[in-house]
Amino acid sequence: MNVQPPTVSELGPLVLDGLRRQGGRGSTADIRSFVEEGGLLTPEQLAHKHREGPGSEVAYRLRWALVDLRRRGLIERAGSRLWKLADDGPQS
């Protein structure tokens, strides 16, 4: 069983799916909840700490996944800690 958390690129599709399920828009907290509670990650992956810090590696990589998706033009900021699917991004 893999206990390593998913990579930034593996989290990207989960973020996009979460935003689609939330009507194309959601807060960082909403996205994190969807990814962490969606049943696709194991408890071991979710428990994996980021270095010696208090946060999880999944949360750390999820923040980078948001940055990556924004840079690729698939999502946009919709406000403070709010994200939305890009108007010209994939909708399906």
pLDDT (tens digit, 9 = 90+) per residue, 46-70? 998 998 778 899 999 999 999 999 9
What domains appear along the chain, each with residue ranges and CATH number? Answer: 8-85 (1.10.10)
User: What residues have CB less than 8 Å from 81, skipping those under 6 apart?
Assistant: 27, 28, 29
pLDDT, residue 51, reads 85
Cα dist. 29→2, 50, 66, 70 in Å?
A: 25, 18, 12, 17
Task: Express each pLDDT in 7-51 by its tens digit.
Answer: 999 999 999 999 999 999 999 999 999 999 988 899 999 998 998
pLDDT over 80 at 89, yes or no:
no
What tokens appear for 80 in the block? 């403070």
91 — pLDDT class (breaks 50, 70, 90): very low
Give the closest residue to 18 by CA, choosing from 43, 6, 35, 37.
35
Residue 22 CA to residue 85 CA, distance in Å, equals 10
